[in-house]
Amino acid sequence: MKRIFSVLLSCIISWQALATATTQDISTIVSTNTDSALSHLVQQLPTTKLKKMAPLVEKIALTTSAQKRDVLQFMLAGELYYLKSNKTVVRALKTENALYELTNVLTKQVLAPVKKSTIRKVKTNNRLRGSIRSYIAKMDLTDKNKNVRIQAVKRLLDNPSKTGLSAVQALIKQEQDEDVRELMNITLLLNQLKVGDHAEKMATITQLENTLEPSVNNAMVKLLGDLPLENKTNEQKALALSLSKVISSIEDKRSFFGIIENIFFGLSLGSVLLLAAIGLAITFGVMGVINMAHGEMMMLGAYTTYVIQLAFPNLIEYSLLMAVPAAFLVSGIVGIIIERGVIRYLKGRPLETLLATFGISLILQQLVRTIFSPLNRQVQAPEWMSGSWVINPVFSLTYNRLYIIIFSLIVFFTLLLILKKSALGLHVRAVSQNRDMARALSIKSDWVDAITFGLGSGIAGVAGVVLSQLTNVGPNLGQAYIIDSFLVVVFGGVGNLWGTLVAAMSLGSINKFLEPAVGSVLANIIVLVGLVLFIQKRPKGLFPQKGRAAD
């Protein structure tokens, strides 16, 4: 019985292996036949006259080879050539030294650069290029990748062709994806708006009323502009009235989403300011120290991210996750060293503290220049932070800014939880409200100062990780944010986290709303003047610190 079972199992395994091999062989044969058919047609390009080129291009487009699109795209771009010596069809790109880099379009083999006199371009004209665009559009409209199909339909929206519109008409019922099908429908409606009769145009305008595609708005504006200014017929008057209403409605929606976009950019800027200022709010509120080296703590966090990407080049997708705790530790430890080595000897002397921390900031900048050089460094963004979330054709949210907003709020509420629910937080609040009474209750205020300064510096390092995704990493990275950080702290109220949150988001949003109207420089000036006037009325900020020490 065991022998029979073993023989049966061996037969099954052999049959599966044979079936797999047969399937692979069939696939190889089909692929080889397909490529040979394309190769035969491509080899005819150098000897075919321009009058007979259109049927040959059509045959190339009808093959099932995966390489046909590249051949047609090179031909459309004017990059398809052939060698005069042996008629080999190549892709030719001009280099700086007037030579042409050659690549065999079939084998992808890179050939030696040659002079222009040794190659000749494959013949094309405007009509043929129009046909090639249509063939490429057909290929892209039937591609398995949704994004490829969407881009193909958008190209048809901007440059419609009869062949492309016919392909959309034939494929719209088969399309399974709702987004692609909606774009296809818009493409057909736009064509109807251009060539349809009065009734069809009126019906099309009604259907396109809620569409925010830029091509739709442009087509309607053009159609309205083509109507005569005077002596309109009744149909033209009705058409003009309908177009004006729909265009006005579309513009109102675009303006609304523009405001939402400004709010989003304002919140993203506010999130960066929040991360940059929240550590300063703690140290300034508890210790009363004006830390001019706070920006350099952010710089250290950014360079920590850069070093981690250098150390783990194969883990770019996880580099930020590793950089956050590493930057917190590096900047936090440096902050504790600064507090223990310098600041604790200057308590109660704010001017000397300011000068000392300013000197430390210069030392740290020069140290970084010595180790990493003065040149800016690029930190790669992980793939999951690239791209954007497209909500509609006129409004999208970039993933990097969206993640920064979420991350800054997580850091804020984590720090708030620590200060409200932990023993460390209780001691920090006690020292910030009344240092003498806290000492009388056996709280070691010196160590609270050290840990608080380290905590604030660590959070600044985390802010540096975020900044590495928005700008280049360099020795002067922190200098661009130190002034804004102090403004946020003073505006919100010294030592108040909720005030820091409100101030950061408010200043970020106000700045982004002012920038389109007056420019970035004047916007900063207006915000600064507004803060000066505000502080004259409320010197302690939006949320003043409570306690006897605040008096």
pLDDT of residue 25 exceeding 50: no
**210 class by beta-carbon count within 10 Å (0-12 exposed, 13-18 middle, 19+ buried):** exposed
Residue 71 placed within a domain: no
Work out the number of other CB atoms within 10 angstroms of the CB of residue 352. 14
Residue 178 placed within a domain: no
Residue 169 placed within a domain: no
- Tell me the C-alpha distance between 328 and 318, whole Å: 16
Is the CB of residue 398 less than 8 Å from the CB of residue 261? no
Q: Is 546 helix (H, G, I), strand (E, B) or coil?
A: coil
89 - beta bridge partners? 82
Mean pLDDT, residues 397-405 taken together: 89
Closest to 186 (Cα-Cα) out of 137, 163, 220: 220
Range of 5-19, 323-337, 522-536 with top mean pLDDT: 323-337
- Tell me the C-alpha distance between 290 and 279, whole Å: 12
Helices (H), 288-376: 294-311, 316-341, 350-372
In this structure, of 269-278, 299-308, 418-427, the range with the lowest mean pLDDT score is: 418-427
Mean pLDDT, residues 226-245 taken together: 83
- Tell me the C-alpha distance between 72 and 139, whole Å: 11
pLDDT-based confidence at residue 16 (cuts at 50, 70, 90)? very low
DSSP 473: B
Taking the alpha carbons of 365, 368, 374, 376 in that order, is the dihedral positive or negative? negative
pLDDT-based confidence at residue 290 (cuts at 50, 70, 90)? confident
What tokens does 271 get? 């999130």
Mean pLDDT, residues 259-284 taken together: 87
Specify the pLDDT at position 33: 46
Q: How far is CA 336 from CA 38, 300, 451, 457, in A?
A: 69, 14, 7, 8
Residues 6+ apart with CB under 8 A from 456: 278, 279, 280, 281, 282, 283, 291, 294, 335
Query: Each residue of 122-173: pLDDT tens digit?
Result: 888 888 887 888 788 778 887 888 888 888 888 877 777 777 778 788 888 8
Angle at which helix 497-518 crosses helix 234-287, to 10 degrees, equals 140
Residue 519 placed within a domain: yes
- Tell me the C-alpha distance between 103 and 110, whole Å: 4
pLDDT of residue 11 exceeding 50: no
398 - beta bridge partners? 388
DSSP 173: T
Specify the pLDDT at position 184: 86
- Tell me the C-alpha distance between 67 and 106, whole Å: 7
Specify the pLDDT at position 206: 85
Mean pLDDT, residues 496-502 taken together: 85
Specify the pLDDT at position 550: 52
pLDDT-based confidence at residue 413 (cuts at 50, 70, 90)? very high
Specify the pLDDT at position 395: 86
Specify the pLDDT at position 307: 92
Residue 43 placed within a domain: no
pLDDT-based confidence at residue 462 (cuts at 50, 70, 90)? very high
Residue 491 placed within a domain: yes
| Three state DSSP letters for 71-106 | HHHHHHCCCEEEECCCCCEEEEEECCCCCEEEEECC
344 is in which domain, residue-wise? 259-550
Specify the pLDDT at position 545: 64
Mean pLDDT, residues 484-502 taken together: 83
Residue 419 placed within a domain: yes
Q: How far is CA 60 from CA 45, 141, 178, 372, in A?
A: 10, 17, 31, 54
Specify the pLDDT at position 406: 92
Q: Break the chain down into helix, strand, coil percent, rounded to 5.
A: 70, 5, 20
pLDDT-based confidence at residue 19 (cuts at 50, 70, 90)? very low
Residues 6+ apart with CB under 8 A from 226: none
Indicate the helix (H) or strand (E) that contains 119. Answer: strand 119-121
pLDDT-based confidence at residue 35 (cuts at 50, 70, 90)? low
pLDDT of residue 23 exceeding 50: no
121 - beta bridge partners? 81
pTM (global) more than 0.75: no
**130 class by beta-carbon count within 10 Å (0-12 exposed, 13-18 middle, 19+ buried):** middle
Specify the pLDDT at position 305: 92
pLDDT of residue 180 exceeding 90: no
**182 class by beta-carbon count within 10 Å (0-12 exposed, 13-18 middle, 19+ buried):** middle
Mean pLDDT, residues 255-273 taken together: 89
Q: How many domains does the chain have?
A: 1
Mean pLDDT, residues 95-99 taken together: 80
Residue 231 placed within a domain: no
pLDDT-based confidence at residue 13 (cuts at 50, 70, 90)? very low
pLDDT-based confidence at residue 447 (cuts at 50, 70, 90)? confident
DSSP 121: E
CA 307 to chain centre: 23
